């Protein structure tokens, strides 16, 4: 994983390709779930505040990833708001980026094997959550109901 991507995303500059987008999104969402479950297990009293902070942080990071994604096909950050529209969000995420350098930077190199693995893991995350629900139903139901 490239720390330069994080730096450029925080400045709302640069590009990320589809594979990197899915890999980084997986890391954000998986980290969010780990934090929320850990907080819930540790202390119910601070769960609501910590969960709100974790949700806000995850939403900001995911929005920055979407901005990098729309930069990949040479659109401004305003197009990142299209991710809020159902079905259109699939285009925002999966549209092919420009093969040539654009005003947001050069093309990204071919993703590493780890990045590809994390991108595939993004699609396996719902399976993991459903499995956790089967194994620990009170934990998942407690988080969703509280």
Q: How far apart are CA 135 and CA 75, in angstroms?
A: 44
Write out the two tokens for 81.
């708001």
Indicate the range of 4-13, 46-55, 92-101 predicted with least confidence.
4-13
What's the half-sphere exposure (Cβ side, CA atoms, 13 Å) at 16? 32
**CA–CA dist 10, 7 (Å, integer):** 5
Nearest partner of 32 among 59, 12, 9, judged by Cα: 59
State pLDDT tens for residues 113-124: 888 898 888 888
Alpha-carbon span 96 to 106, nearest angstrom: 15
High-pLDDT (> 90) share of the chain, %: 2
Q: What is the pLDDT of residue 140?
A: 54
pLDDT at 51 over 70: yes
Angstrom distance (rounded) from CA 77 to CA 120 = 26
Least confident of 7-11, 23-27, 53-57, 87-91: 7-11
Separation CA 113–CA 119 (nearest Å):
10
Whether pLDDT at 1 is above 70: no
Q: Classify residue 111 by its DSSP letter.
A: P
pLDDT at 36: 81
């Amino acid at each position: 994983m490239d720390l330069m991507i994080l730096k450029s995303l925080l400045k709302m500059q640069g590009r990320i390709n589809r594979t990197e987008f899915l890999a980084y999104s997986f890391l954000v969402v998986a980290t969010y779930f780990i934090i929320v479950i850990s907080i819930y297990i540790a202390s119910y009293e601070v769960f609501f505040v910590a969960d709100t902070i974790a949700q806000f942080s995850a939403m900001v990071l995911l929005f920055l990833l979407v901005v990098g994604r729309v930069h990949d096909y040479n659109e401004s950050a305003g197009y990142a708001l299209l991710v809020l529209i159902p079905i259109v969000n699939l285009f925002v995420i999966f549209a092919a980026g420009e093969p040539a350098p654009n005003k947001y930077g050069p093309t990204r190199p071919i993703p590493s094997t780890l990045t590809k693995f994390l991108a595939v893991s993004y699609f396996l995350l719902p399976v993991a959550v459903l499995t956790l629900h089967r194994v620990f139903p009170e934990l998942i139901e407690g988080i969703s109901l509280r």
